[in-house]
Structure 1
Amino acid sequence: MIRSGLTVKLSVLLALIGVLASGLTGYYAYHANRTLLVDQAERSLRTSTDFLSRRLSNSISDVAADARVLATMPSAAQTASIDDGLDDNPGRERLAQVFASFMANHPEYLQIRLIARAHHGLELIRFDRDAAGAVRVGGEGLEEKAQFPYVFDTLALNRDQIYVSNITINHEHGAHLAEGRPTVRIGAPIVDAHDTTVGAIVLDVDLGGLLAMLKSDLPRDYHVYLTNEWGDFLVHPDSTQTFGFAKGRRVLVQDTFASTRALFDHSRDEVDLNGLDNPREAGDRIITFIRKPLLGAGGNRFVVLGLSKPLDDALAGASLLGESIVHMVLISSAIALALAILFARALTQPLQRLTDAATHFMSDKTMDELPIRRTDEIGVLARCFARMRREIKSQIDVLHSKQTELAHLASHDMLTDLPNRLLFMQQLEAAIAHASATGERLAVLFVDLDGFKQINDAFGHSAGDTVLIAVARRLRDVLAPDDVVARLGGDEFIVLTRGARADDAEPRIAREILDAINVGVLFNDEPMTVGASIGISRYPSDGMNAESLLLHADAAMYAAKLARDGRGAYRAYADLDDPAAAGERTRKRVASPRAGTGTDSGAAASNDLDVTL
């Protein structure tokens, strides 16, 4: 009867699924309507983007047509020839007047130049735009440009071909208003009557002026994106994201909108994004990107043009439907809530006791309150819970013990039980933070054993382990309780002293360490002697962070080895003849694997050498 009663109660609760179904139906209807509206908005935005891209391509094509017209004028070939181009002649002056007319009628043109193939690409006619208008550059202002791609690439073209440059910031000095502006260069070869390319016409176009014209008809809440063929942003709603390659960094559309990678591997010509399907990329907007060649299908350059508008604009028509669905769901939810309360009370009273037991899981008192005498499913659950609690409590006790042991092993060297590199660096960083606030002085002593490899080779790695353990014990004995000593790895130890003891690091503390280490060690009744070299760095004079202090102490240690033939010496980093050079040598030395000693007696407990800084 009890099992049957519980089943009935569950069955009644399942009847509430009908109410949930109505809400889900309304939700999916609303969702489908939103999707339909967004699809329509995407198609409209795609059309606008395509139209905008055509306008950009047509604008570039118009510039290319102007360049071709200038290049095919008879006076252009005459002027670009070697003999005629360097002397004044009527053809050259007539062509200059044509250039001036083009500059007057095309405010987006920043420069028009006729460049000869001869004389290293010398500019023969050049008009620049300045604040007052077009200005002709002559005499010493004419420059040789053969080394620039827009010259030698244009000269390599056939008669009817057009060169289109990358869209870049113009960094050529003396270019008047063109200097520092986003520029695209259009070049056309000048071919004489003998089909010989004698020069080039190059037009520098102000990309900013073109884009301002293209965006003039767009609504204010529309955003325009434009990239070059590598994905660098040329236009972006955030101006700090544009022309990153000219500022020493790359800001790529592929990194901002990952889906656009398909445009650059030529697997797709257009990409649509929206905040419903691609919330991480599109956010609260609808975005369309189109790849467009600058000079039609045969162009040697292309751009990616993007257009976006707010997602809310597309979803405005879904508001009425959404309100109706919300009202329906609220009414259904109220009814479902009332039914749930009625039936939940009957079910949750015994379950509440289990909940209290789970809340006070580790308390013995709750065990007497569990409904373990019930014969229905709740009784079975209570008995299983009681057994599980006993087992888990036993396992937790074991885990606590293991966690304490693992925490110690993670921060200490297994062989010497000294703090390892990780723990030392944490303590050093904490000491630096305290010292920067209080003005306390610090000293770091880098201790490297002398002759340790010979002990390993002569007596074996077990002897090496014995030496390391003895050295660690002696370092603890000779140092003050507030000092920190750690093993970095292999035969390298590191010591941190604070306050007044930092001033005594050299020579007192260093000498005490050397004297303690120099005492012989017995291994199988065989005496073994090991020395040490010590490098000392101080905070703040030798470094402001843990890595630099450790690196400079290592550099001083290395200098100590060199100064005293590698045994029983100490040096302070500040006393080195050239501290900067010593530090640089140490950086190079530790950047590559350093030969060291090792043992096969276990990875963590061995005297293997780890000198990575």
Structure 2
Amino acid sequence: MIRPGLTFKLSVLLACIGVIASGATGYYAYRANRAMLVNEAGRSLLTSTELLGQRFSVAIDDIGADALVLAGMPSSAEIAQTDDGLGENAARERLAQVYSSFMVHHPDYLQIRLITRQHYGLELIRFDRDADGLVRVEGNRLQEKGQFAYVFDTLAFSPGRLYASPISVNHEYGAHAAENRPTLRLGTPVANGRGQVVGVVVIDVDLAGLLKRLQSDLPSDYQVYLANEWGDFLVHPDSSKTFGFDKGRRVLMQDSFSVTKPLFEQSQSEVLVNGLTYPRQAAGQVLSFVRRPFGASEGNRFIVLGLAKPLEDVLSDADLLGNRIIRMVLVFSALAVLLAILFARALTKPLHILAYAATHLFAEHAMETLPLKRTDEIGVLARCFDRLRREIKSQMDTLHNKQTELVHLATHDGLTGLPNRMLFMQKLENAIEEAARRQESLAVLFVDLDRFKQINDQFGHSVGDKVLVVVARRLKQVLCTADVVARLGGDEFIVLIEGPRAAEAAPAIASRIVDTLNEELLMDGHNMAVGASIGISQFPDDSGTAEELLLNADAAMYAAKSGGRCAYLRYQDLLEARRLEQLEQARAQASEGATEGHEAEPLA
């Protein structure tokens, strides 16, 4: 009996090794690719969840800033202290126009109200929203709200603080479009010149509309979950599970997703889980949840926000790659058997090289040793390995690019390409730190377009969008490369000027901006002029924080707009004007008292 020779044994051995190596490589690549795709999808989903949560917090902060602006207006305190809501009052009507403009520019606002401490919390100015637009509630229709927590709790706050109510369904009588809508209320005290709280400003926010706007750019296959600090679902793909506490039954997030319990216990701030690693806790899904405080932490308010993506969508590319890997493994196995029979000895060294490359698929030095230039089957096999690695790397690059795009969308305005409020505030805070370290100054210019609403109303929003793009381009042309210009939203822009020249150059730059924006535009065959009002605040003269600099510039802008459009005003000039106005009032009161005293002398 003839025993098999060494060549046959070596051929069989090499064939077995080739088949096993090919199968192991395919299996490892498939499993590794699945795990990589799920992990990358999880990180991308967590990033999206954090960005959505950050947008929610920023939106709430913006609403709080609007409430502080309205409460800080001197006329608010005067009306809250002296008015009863009845009869004609010119000051009340002027202030009502300001409230109306805030409602017009913020479609998420359901109500804006000025409520006095007197008359059992009587509403003095109130604007509602209904299906036809804004509704002004006046006269006998104004209601007493002193019994509501958002009034008496806010009255107990010191000026400048914000009250954030629990998110609930609005059941107040006569609330128009706000009735039976998920609502978040933000309130802030109104104080007179002596610091006494004489009323409150309350803004009711449409939570559903706010979230719809914030999540408008999310992929369509993402599912959104939102819960309050107690775990009640506020947003759920199944609408029957939302606001259960308002329907007599509570549906809690921590009951539906047990992994979220640490978020409500405040022991963790984020949770990421997928159905591939934890099939019981996330069946067929990739889930990410984050806890996000809001309302300047007053009352320890927070939400838990979650995003979910079907695991099937994440692994679709992996399944496609798995089919390719199976075919490639079969081809490699056939080649291994053939090459083992024909070239057993010649293939010993190359097969070792291929086996090493198969077990080090992502190592660049291993791929460099492959005989890619060979024209035989070894070269084909080597190139197949290289192609496999390139396909996987291409998928990783694609995921990275998508993540980069999400980050860019989160920090830049989608229409003009300018930095948005979040990115600008980061730059401003960094600039303040640098200016403080160098003992230099910087200036913030708050630019508000004067005639943009008329352009939108007359020519349509498409023309308005084109005008905003042209305005952004003109602003960048006026400014130096070192200056920063950003769009806050709507027709509001903000400019940051750094360096030793900031204090002296800011008025000149503001003047150039006003002149530039006063120049006529030719847009779709129409000549139009936009115009702008600008408020200027400076560091460190006006404030040492980013938020206060922005608020001061905003206040100066409103004063400039009130004084006449297409003008600019420094915050220091605004303070000086207010001081002079107070002196004039004091002198007038003193003169009036002296006159009354002289008239009383003959009676004595």
TM-score by length of 2: 0.49
Q: Relative contact order: is structure 1 or structure 2 higher (C-alpha 8 Å, sep ≥ 6)?
A: 2
TM-score by length of 1: 0.48
Task: Select the structure of larger CA radius of gyration.
Answer: 1
